Structure 1
Amino acid sequence: MRWIITIDHHGGCLWAGEDRDGIPCRGTSEQADALPMEFRLYRADGEILFEGRCGDIDEDWWHGFEPLIYTWNTFRCRRMTYRRVGSQDEWRKFRP
């Protein structure tokens, strides 16, 4: 699933992500704007480290897990929330 970090509260990872085949790559703001979901990645203490855009997690929850897996060891991200772009709904906890 394509995903891109669009807001980096930690530093050094802006525009990092993976292409639709799961290969690490950099993205652009135009590519991010085309993705239907937004996500947030948190440390265990609740601090938001990254925000970004990704493919449709509701359609493909298995691959929706990829941003969290990518940041698990290096940044100790332990929680992810998401919602549809443009929605004013509450952020949903990622639970497969």
Structure 2
Amino acid sequence: MRWIVTVDHHGGCIGLGEDANGVPARGNPEQAAALPTDFRLHLASGEVLFEGRCGDIDADWWHGFEPLNYLWHPFRCRRLSYRRAGTQDVWHWLLP
């Protein structure tokens, strides 16, 4: 699933992500605008470290874990929340 970090509250990861085939690839916020889902990566305490866009998590929840898996170890991200991009919908926790 394609995903791109668009807001970095930690430092140094703007554009980090993967292409549609799961290969690590950098992107930019303009490319992220075409993706349908906003996501946030949180510490266990709930603090948001990164925000970005990704493919449709509701249609493919398994691959929705990819940003979390990628940033789990280096930044201790433990939770991912998401919502439809361009809306003010409630943030949902990604659950297995």
Q: Do the structures match in fold with TM over 0.5?
A: yes
Q: Which amino acid aligns with 2:8?
A: D
Which structure's residues are more often strand, by fraction?
A: 1
| Unaligned runs of at least 5 residues, structure 2 | none
| Unaligned runs of at least 5 residues, structure 1 | none
Matched residues, number: 96
TM alignment of 1:10-25, pairs within 5 A: 10-25=10-25
Q: Which amino acid aligns with 1:48?
A: V
TM alignment of 1:11-90, pairs within 5 A: 11-90=11-90
The 4+ residue runs of structure 1 with deviation greater than 6 A are none
Q: Which amino acid aligns with 2:16?
A: A
Residues 57-84 of structure 1 deviation map (CA, whole Å, 9 limit, x = unaligned): 0110110110000010000000010000
| Aligned equivalents of 2:81, 2:55: Cα separation in 1 | 14
Two-structure CA RMSD over aligned residues (Å) = 0.7
Among all aligned residue pairs of Structure 1 and Structure 2, give the percentage whose two residues are the same amino acid. 67
Q: Which amino acid aligns with 1:92?
A: H
| Aligned equivalents of 1:29, 1:75: Cα separation in 2 | 21
| Aligned equivalents of 1:7, 1:30: Cα separation in 2 | 12
| Aligned equivalents of 1:3, 1:57: Cα separation in 2 | 11
Query: 1:46, CA displacement in angstroms?
Result: 1.2
Match of 1:3 in 2: 3
| Aligned equivalents of 1:83, 1:19: Cα separation in 2 | 20
